[in-house]
Structure 1
Amino acid sequence: MAATPHVPREANDMRRLGAVLLDGLLALTAALIAMRATERADLPGMQVFYATAGACFGLSFLNHVVLTRIGGASIGKFAVRTRVVRETDASRPRLPRLFRRWLGGYLFVLVWIIAAFFDMAEGPEDFCGIRLVRFRDLRAAEAGSTPGR
């Protein structure tokens, strides 16, 4: 029978806030660059809007879903030395779960209101079964679960 894996505790709120701010700034920078480029091209207003939104959401998707699947963290999470893991076994989440988490981030207010209405203590992080942990704690947990170390 396999031993239950040790899942590190959640990273503190300051690390989470730092990652959110950096990732948000990155997406907004992409939107600003797209907006400036499309305005200089003298495109109609709706095309400017589509290009701006596409750059913002596209980069956000690549950062939060694709990069997190490949590297275990978004750029902001790398910067604050945290990683994203599954709550059950501390493994790297797969694309469908990461996509739900990314979409849930945009729907955070709606999810929070529903959770409050039904008196649920769980927030959007728990909604997808993903936990943000410190990189150091994750490495320590992995080293402790490996036989012979």
Structure 2
Amino acid sequence: MGRKYPASAHWETPSETRRIVSVFIDAITTILAGLAAGLVVGIGRVNGVPQIRIDSLTVWGTAVCAGITLSFFNHVVVALITHRSLGKAIAGLRIVRETDAGPPKLLQLVGRWLFGFLWMIAYAPIHLAADSNVTQQDAAGLRIVRRAKT
């Protein structure tokens, strides 16, 4: 027999505020970690004085690569192990399969990460600029939920 997962009745759709908080925490963590990695690479000495070469392509390339890597690690590897990203854990949310509320599968998490990455880069700025009321939907057969109040 397979492992039993909680019934969908034990989970509810979280408020838009909780979802936004979790996205904001994940985004800020990724951006700050990427920038920190870029700054570490960009520290050099000029005449014996430490300086940050902020105009260096290496600095910005490292920042972008580190940010993307951390984002993947947070949204795929951490979520595969804990069923939530850092932001979702802080907001009290978790990721479950839409079909049976079981834990997410690796390929579902990769698909969800790619969808979210595309959403943040391409669609979110358009919706913000157009002041539309479209919200990001769950993707790849996964849902974001919170434990139902009993």
Q: 1:123 to 1:77 in 2, by over 3 A?
A: closer
Structure 1 residue corresponding to 2:22, chosen from 19, 22, 29: 19
The Cα of 1:137 is off from its aligned counterpart by 2.7
Q: Give structure 2 stretches of 5+ with no counterpart.
A: 1-5, 45-52, 127-133
In structure 1, how many angstroms separate the alpha carbons of the residues matched to 2:79 and 2:12? 19
How large is the RMSD of aligned CA atoms in angstroms?
Answer: 3.0
Partner secondary structure for residue 148 of structure 2? helix
In structure 2, how many angstroms separate the alpha carbons of the residues matched to 1:11 and 1:77? 11
In the superposition, the TM-score normalised over structure 2's length comes to 0.73
Partner of 1:31: 34
- Which structure: greater helix fraction? 1
Give the 5 Å matches for 1:128-143.
Answer: 128-134=140-146, 136-137=147-148
Q: Give structure 1 stretches of 5+ with no counterpart.
A: 114-120, 141-149
In structure 2, how many angstroms separate the alpha carbons of the residues matched to 1:84 and 1:67? 11
In structure 2, how many angstroms separate the alpha carbons of the residues matched to 1:122 and 1:26? 22
Partner secondary structure for residue 12 of structure 2? coil
In the superposition, the TM-score normalised over structure 1's length comes to 0.73
In structure 1, how many angstroms separate the alpha carbons of the residues matched to 2:87 and 2:136? 20
Percent identity of paired positions between Structure 1 and Structure 2:
33
The Cα of 1:86 is off from its aligned counterpart by 0.6
Give the 5 Å matches for 1:59-98.
Answer: 59-98=70-109
Instruction: Work out the number of aligned pairs and report it.
Output: 128
In structure 2, how many angstroms separate the alpha carbons of the residues matched to 1:99 and 1:70? 13
Structure 1 residue corresponding to 2:66, chosen from 55, 69, 75: 55
Partner of 2:111: 100
